[in-house]
Copies of this chain bind each other. A is one copy, B any other.
Amino acid sequence: MKFSSYEEDFIGCVLMKRGLTDTCYGLFSTLANPTRLAILEKLRIQSMNVSTLAQVLNQEQSMISHNLKPLERCALIYSERSGKEKIYSLNKDTMEKIFKAVEDHANNHCPFGGMCADSK
């Protein structure tokens, strides 16, 4: 039986204490996707349901659902039913810290108005 990194993340999370590298790998593979990042960016502004996300991001609903799954499993977002809809919201505790670290990094290493120096 084989598992994807998402599944391994989940399994590892349930079965054993993991090292920092493993934890990071689970989180970062989830974060390393433009659609998921776009979802997070939208949810940063306000919580919303799946079809609104699909509409706002101009993507198919199944695409959004597929991508919400790993985000929720990693607890980067939360969800809450509201009638037929499911409202997703950002885990700001975690994500604001991460966004800030990335922004700081970009500011430090892409000095001239957001452009990175040619780093080789």
The tally of residues in A whose CB lies under 8 Å from a CB in B reads 49
A84 interface residue (CB < 8 Å to B): no
Residues of B within 8 Å of A14, CB to CB, are 115-116, 118
Residues of B within 8 Å of A75, CB to CB, are 105, 108-109, 116, 119
Partner of A17, one of B17, B91, B113, B120: B113
Interface residues of A in 91-107 (CB under 8 A from B): 91, 93-94, 97-106
Residues of B within 8 Å of A119, CB to CB, are 10, 72-75
| Distance (whole angstroms) from the CB of A27 to the closest CB of chain B | 6
| Distance (whole angstroms) from the CB of A38 to the closest CB of chain B | 6
Bound form: Cα–Cα A120–B102 in Å: 29
Residues of B within 8 Å of A120, CB to CB, are 72-73
| Distance (whole angstroms) from the CB of A45 to the closest CB of chain B | 12
Q: Mark A residues whose CB is within 8 Å of B.
A: 10, 13-18, 20-21, 23-25, 27-29, 31-34, 37-38, 41, 72-75, 91, 93-94, 97-106, 108-110, 113-116, 118-120
